[in-house]
Amino acid sequence: MSTQKAVQFSKTGGTEVLEINQIPIPKVGPGLVLIKAAYGGVNYIDTYFRSGLYPTPSLPHTLGSEGAGIVEAVGEGVSKFKPGERVVYYGSGCYSEYIALPEKVISHIPKGLELEQAAAVLLQGLTALTMLRESYEVKKGDTILVHAAAGGTGLVLVQLAKALGATVIATASTDEKLKLAKEHGADHLVNYSGGEEQWVKEVLGLTKDGEGVEAVYDGVGKATFEGDLKVMKRKGSLISFGNASGAVDPFKINRLGDKNLKLLRPRLFGYIATQEEFDHYTQELFGYIEMDQLKVNIHKIYPLEDVAQAHQDLEGRVTTGKLVLKI
Ligand code: NDP
């Protein structure tokens, strides 16, 4: 067998552009590890590539940013991995049956963590962890705001922020989603579907003397950005890390001076660029799972053929936690 199934698109657009094609199985060249995928994680970034919000280097493009599976073969010079081992990885093209990747983007899966859980937690977990460690280093006693707190990244942010000693105000669009955030440790719940004026007032009312929060973690983007500036404490940090509601409009940096705010727009890959960084944060992340401080919450496992439905559900705001593809 020399070909495999892969989810691709040849033009950008809605979920109708997604195709399941036969493409060659990659060769396991020097320094590469060939993996037979078992599960792929669905991430919002996959929808940005599909829609054209983020550019792709060429078309057709194979989608998918992370997965988990079994090492099939290793190339010359590979020392960390052996055929038959369970691994989790990130890289471009993970919605496919086989993928060949360099060692530095692959990690062994610890005992006790299922393949589907590993595929569900790697990117969102590392995103949440690196932002809590580096974008704004959360300290015991801080009060922080996490938007879309019942989403995949949101639920990890809530749990890790609690583990680090913060008080967490969680927002979501429905009471069911807020309940889930509470079950994962959120201290205060705000339904932000009533509009900016209302959620801003509620958030400020939950902070000491109405002064605002130390940090906002915002993956919603356009819809919440202006409100974020209002709920920040003097010298607070706004970590704007996504565009679920659309990209944030151009912004005059002078406005940060009103409260000496810090504004960050981090991408995970800038925090795990070196082998050392990837290994460090992956081990820390798995440690929280082993210590039972982080639960992996899978919304649903979709067959690869239902990838369009998975994208529709994620973009349609009907999911909580993580969406996974069975490959
Ligand atoms: P989620 O599971 O959080 O799903 C997105 C959630 O955003 C929805 O469930 C919804 O929750 C909320 N939302 C608010 N407004 C809208 C809207 N107009 N349309 C759709 N959803 C909306 O997704 P992910 O965890 O995969 O990603 C969350 C964010 O994190 C994304 O913006 C993603 O790009 C970003 N991200 C960034 C990374 C980085 O490196 N910078 C890495 C990983 C993720 P509700 O109904 O409660 O409002």
Give residue-wise pLDDT tens across range 166-225: 999 999 999 999 999 999 999 999 999 999 999 999 999 999 999 999 999 999 999 999
Q: Does residue 28's CB lie within 6 angstroms of at least one atom of ligand 1?
A: no
Domains annotated on the chain, with CATH: 3-122+296-326 (3.90.180.10), 140-265 (3.40.50.720)
CA of 98 to the centre of ligand 1 (A): 28
Q: Does residue 148's CB lie within 6 angstroms of at least one atom of ligand 1?
A: yes
Beta strands (DSSP E) in 273-321 are: 298-303
Q: Does residue 268's CB lie within 6 angstroms of at least one atom of ligand 1?
A: yes
CA of 268 to the centre of ligand 1 (A): 14
pLDDT at 106: 98
Take atom 1 of ligand 1 and give the residue whose Cα is closest.
151
How confident is residue 142, by pLDDT bands cut at 50, 70 and 90?
A: very high
Q: What is the pTM of this model?
A: 0.97
The burial class, CB within 10 Å (0-12 / 13-18 / 19+), for 121 is buried
pLDDT at 277: 97
Q: Is the pLDDT of residue 47 over 80?
A: yes
* Average pLDDT of every residue of the chain: 97
User: What are the backbone angles phi and psi of residue 33, rounded to the nearest 5°?
Assistant: -120, 125
168 in Cβ contact with 144 (< 8 Å): yes
Percent of the chain topping pLDDT 70: 100
ipTM of the complex: 0.99
Percent of the chain topping pLDDT 90: 99
CA of 148 to the centre of ligand 1 (A): 6
Q: What is d(CA 123, CA 22) in angstroms, rounded to the nearest whole number?
A: 26
What average pLDDT score do residues 71-97 get? 98
The burial class, CB within 10 Å (0-12 / 13-18 / 19+), for 62 is middle
What average pLDDT score do residues 102-115 get? 96
Q: Could you report the per-residue pLDDT of 296-309, keeping only the tens digit for each?
A: 999 999 999 999 99
Q: Does residue 265's CB lie within 6 angstroms of at least one atom of ligand 1?
A: no
Pick from 210, 129, 176, 192: nearest CA to 319? 176
Tokens standing for residue 120: 């569900």
Using DSSP's 3-state secondary structure scheme, residue 283 falls into helix
